[in-house]
Each structure stands twice: as structure tokens, then as C-alpha cells.
Amino acid sequence: MFKKRNTKNTAVTVTLDHREVSLPGDASVAAGLLGQGEILSRISPASGEPRSPHCLMGVCCECMMEIDGVKRQACMTSPKAGMVINRGLNGEEINNPADTDELNSKLNEENPK
Amino acid sequence: MSLHYDVIVIGAGPAGLSSAALLGDLGLKVLVLDEQEKVGGQIYRNIQGADEGQLEFFGADYREGLQLADNFTKAPVTYENHAQVWQVEPEGWVSYSRNGESKRVRANYILAATGAMERPMPIPGWTLPGVMGAGAVNNLAKEAGLTPEGRVILAGSGPLLLLEASLLVKKGVEIAAILETGPMVPPAGDFPKIAPRLPKALLRWDFLFKGVGMLMDIKKSKAPHYKGVTRIQARGKDQLEHVSAMSGDKELVYPADMLLLHFGVVPNTHIYRQMGCKMVWEKEQRYWYPACDKWGRTNFERVFAAGDGTRVQGGLAARYEGQLAALEIASCLGMITRDERDGLAAPIHKALSHDGLPRPFVDSLYAPKSQDFLFDDDTLLCRCENVTVGEVRKMVAEGVRDVNEVKAITRCGMGPCQGRMCGPALAEIVGAELSLSPDKVGQLNIRPPVKLVSMAEIAAMDLGEGGTAAGNWLLKK
């Protein structure tokens, strides 16, 4: 979807969805991923549909990913070597530690839909 | 470390940069908080990292930011990037998150220069991967040297849509179509409003000439260019496949890889609204902005606003407004006399009005109309919480009269973007259903934190003056 102009980028290696990828060090995580053809940023938790970044300036929150264990806007995050990024594209739960799972199931038992 | 400043400037776009540099040079202790990685805001994004080729490509308007950014870098001010302001108390406290840690700092004066954003306009399929803001693509070009590839379509209205189209043409991108919602010739009824604004605009032939050059570039590219189109739709299963629109009775359908949307620009007002600034409705452009005097002072004595966050007037005007606010603050803090303030401000006021000459004309040409906001019931309005236009209409039919009630019932505007993407259209929809102007159906209440920050981070923050133990701020409430 994008073609990249040659620049003298220093690349950093990060883990994206359990595999290593190299991102340009001087652009945001969102821009770096788009430059690699990684168009999808997340699955909307409300609709279950895939989404891609929309505004690239910190407004729309469509590029929210789990970055080093915290959900963050990828367009507002600079890549760092060793960063762990999970988009949860296959529907796996992200940023949901076990204790909240437990709490959620308890709440669901008390308030069945 | 002291957490007290003379002035805290929020935002490092043209208004923030010009005001902070001036305030610092006048001897004040200034803290600049900007959420981006680099200074420049959106218009001058990555200006200090751009090579000669980039500067040349984006033209003189972009290059102008270089001097501004360099002056700022040299000025004696404290600057923090990646700083997301999530609460401003008009008495002078600012809470912000940086690198996973929140702080609360204090200043005598606050200057919020929050800038603008593209007007979000729900169309069918606008959440499909492959549909983006035209401004987003502009940002990607400045920040990462990315150019769209494949079948690219631009749709919407406003001068920036055409500017982006001309930039893409210059880059050799083959644009599959440009679909403008604005009419080819403004409707006769609008002439009484538009025509009187032309003579002033003609005083700025340089500006108009630029616009004509842009249109010629687009024309030369031979990209199909339709005006007055309606019902723009993005279609596809898991990503964008087709874009369609109506041109009169004719349906246009284009296979597409990317759809770039742009429907003008509106002020980014969450911080002003969270503070409780008095907001004014801009009737022609259909947006809210904070009420300010000629120095940028809001209804709060110690809170100033400058730049496109107040009214959309462009980068140069933002820079002047930043300087005017800085002069008034410096005079209130006793660094310059009132006479000195007025002497320094006179040429800036003059430059500001010269810069603004063509704007009323151009603004009226591209002003949004109520018929631009005729949405289908099944179009998604709230991208975060998956609320459709029809669900909102149903609420109004059941008796709801205020956007905050719609929010409470449907969750429209309650997701992570906090109503930034659906708020303007929500007011248009509720207003239209009630045959009221959108400013008569309330404004979404904006509450802190206005940025994404975890409760753990807030609980752990150092509250500075007035308490050091984590969480005592909550105890006091």
C-alpha cells in the first residue's frame, strides 16, 4: 500500500506478533509497520473487525496495540530495540492479565447477559 | 527539581513554538509539553529531520517552519516530547504522562496550542483497512518518506484535499479518481455571501496564484476529477476493494487499494473543553472553538489559547497568535511594559490580518453545508464503540434531546478516542433529527484523563505541591 523512499534510517529489531521484524528507528511504530506492508493495526474489540491506522496523529486510537505489555497508540510510540508488539489479530486476548479474566468471569456469573 | 514554571505551553506546533521561543527569550521560565516525538506539530512535522529533497518537495510553506523550529531549539526553554497532557486545571496545574509516568506541574500561565484535526466524516465503510485521512498520508510522507501505492482515490472537500492530490501527482502517484463533494460552481444562493469577500482575497494574489497552480497540476495529471459527488462509499470485505459515489444520476465505481478522506479541518478542543473554557460556535464552518480576546486569553485569566486550536487559520497565523499571547503573558508577568507589548504587537497584528485576507473567501467557498451530513442509518458513527447513525436516530425518536444523553445510552463517544472521531457528526445527526442547529444539542462533556493513561499510573503519580504520597489527591476529593 506504501512505497518507501530511501533514507539513511537506523533500523531497530522488534518482536511483532511473536516474530522479529526490523523497523526504521526514526519514525513511529505505526509508520514503520505501514512501510513494511503491515496494514492491519488491531481487531476492534466492539465489532470484531480488522482496522488500520486512520489519522496518524494521535486522535483516532485505531492503531492501539499492546506495546511492551501496555495498550498504546502506535503512531505516538517510537520503536526501541527489543520492543514487544502484539496486535492480537488472530483474536487472542491482549493486555488482559489472568486476574482480570477471573474478575470478568465472576462478574459475568453475577450479571448474566 | 522545582515543578513551578512561569508558563506551561501545551503543543509544539507553530503557535507553541513561536510563543515558547519568545517567552524564553524574554527571560521567563517555560515548560513546553508536546505529545509528538519531534517538534513542528502537524504542518511542520519532522521539519528538523527533513533532508533537502523533502524541504524542496513540500515547498516554501513547509520550509518556513525550519527557522521557527531552530529558533525554538536555541531558546532557553524546557521541552519535553512524548508528553501527553491529560488534565489541565485552569488555576495553573497541568497533569501529563510521559514514558509511563505521570506528573502534575504548576505554572502562573498556561498557553494551550492544541492545533487542529481533519473533520471526521462517517461514510459507509470508513473503518475498512485501506481508508485513511488524507492528512495521515501527508504525515507519513513527512515522517517516514512513505508514498501511497496502487489505486489511490481521494474524496471529500476543501483546499487541503486538493493540496494533497497535487503533492501525490508531483510524486508520480497515479490517482484513480478525485471525488469532490463541493459543487463545480457555488450555488447561486451562496453568491451574496461569497462575492463581497473576493476583493480582499484579491489583495493576496500570491495566495490565490498558489491555489491555481495546484489545480493546474491536478488537471495535467488527467486523473478523473468529479465535483458535486454524493454518497461516497468504501466497499470491501476485510479491506477496501471498491469506492463508489454518485455523480448526478450516474454511479461511479472504482476498484481501489486506498481511499484518502478529507472534509476540512476543525480545532482540536478536548483540553479547552475539559478545563471548562467558554466555547463559541463557528456557524459557517460548523465547529466549536474557545472564546478568546485579541491576545488569546480565554475566559480564564491565566489560560491562553493560540493557533488552529482556537480557529483554523493556518500555520502562519498560528505563529503570530502564539507571539501575541506570549507578549501579553510577558507583560502581565512584568517582563515588558504595556507600551513595549503594544509596540511589539503592532506589526504582528498587521501581519496577522494580511495573512488572513483570502481566508473568508476560501472558507466560504468550501464551507460545509447541512446536506453534507445526510448519513445512512447503517453507517457506523462511533468507530470505537460500534454505534451506528440509526441507533442515534432511534434515541432521538424516543425523546433524547442532548448528545450527552445519547452517549450515556448508546456509548457513542465513550471509547478510547473520547468522542474525537464521532462528536462533530453526532451533533449534526441529533441536530438534524430535531431540526436544530448542531450547537443547540449540547456538547459532549470532556472529563480527565483526556488521554489514554492507566489508573495505576495516576495512582502512583507524584502530586508535587500539596501532597507527595501516592493517591492523596484522591483522598482529598
- In the predicted model, what is the mean pLDDT of chain B? 93
CB contact under 8 A, B127 and A49: yes
What pLDDT score does B476 carry?
52
Closest by Cα among B59, B67, B70, B45 to B144: B45
For chain B, say whether A62 makes contact (Cβ under 8 Å): yes
CB contact under 8 A, A1 and B130: yes
How far is the C-alpha of B269 from the C-alpha of B114, rounded, in Å? 7
Burial of B477 (0-12, 13-18, 19+ CB in 10 A): exposed
pLDDT of residue B464 exceeding 80, the answer is no
pLDDT of residue A107 exceeding 60, the answer is no
For chain B, say whether A86 makes contact (Cβ under 8 Å): no
The sign one gets for the Cα dihedral B187, B152, B55, A62 is positive
Domains and CATH numbers, chain B: 4-118+266-336 (3.50.50.60), 131-263 (3.50.50.60), 375-440 (1.10.10.1100)
| Nearest CB to A39; choose among B129, B140, B420 | B129
Partners of residue B281 on adjacent β-strands: B288
How far is the C-alpha of B62 from the C-alpha of B396, rounded, in Å? 45
Percent of chain B residues topping a pLDDT of 90: 83
- In the predicted model, what is the mean pLDDT of chain A? 86
pLDDT of residue A100 exceeding 80, the answer is no
Closest by Cα among B191, B144, B407, B387 to A30: B144
For chain A, say whether B147 makes contact (Cβ under 8 Å): yes
What pLDDT score does B148 carry?
95
pLDDT of residue B93 exceeding 70, the answer is yes
Confidence of residue A106 (pLDDT cuts 50, 70, 90): low
Please give the average per-residue pLDDT across B370-384, as a whole number: 93
What are the DSSP calls for A71-109, one per residue?
A: EEEGGG----TT-EEE--TTS---S--HHHHHHHHHHHH
For chain B, say whether A72 makes contact (Cβ under 8 Å): yes
Please give the average per-residue pLDDT across B20-46, as a whole number: 97
| Nearest CB to B136; choose among A3, A53, A76 | A53
For chain B, say whether A96 makes contact (Cβ under 8 Å): no
B-chain residue closest to A4, CA distance: B146
A-chain residue closest to B385, CA distance: A46
The ranges assigned to domains in chain A are 11-110
Chain A 8-37, residues with CB within 8 Å of chain B CB atoms: 24, 26-28, 31-32, 34-35
DSSP collapsed to 3 states, B96-136: EEECCEEEEEEEEEEEECCCEEECCCCCCCCCCCCEEEHHH
The ipTM value here is 0.92
What residues contact B334, with CB distance under 8 A and at least 6 apart? none
B268-298 tens-digit pLDDT: 999 999 999 999 999 999 999 999 999 999 9
B417-446 tens-digit pLDDT: 999 999 999 999 999 999 999 999 999 999
Please give the average per-residue pLDDT across B355-367, as a whole number: 90
Number of other CB atoms surrounding residue B306 within 10 Å: 31
A20-57 tens-digit pLDDT: 999 999 999 999 999 999 999 999 999 999 999 999 99
For chain B, say whether A81 makes contact (Cβ under 8 Å): no
For chain A, say whether B139 makes contact (Cβ under 8 Å): yes
CB contact under 8 A, B454 and A70: yes
CB contact under 8 A, B146 and A2: yes
pLDDT of residue B205 exceeding 60, the answer is yes
Angle at CA of residue B397, ends B401 and B233, nearest 5°: 100
What pLDDT score does A111 carry?
57
CATH hierarchy code of domain A11-110: 3.10.20.30
Query: What cell was used for A32?
Result: 514503520
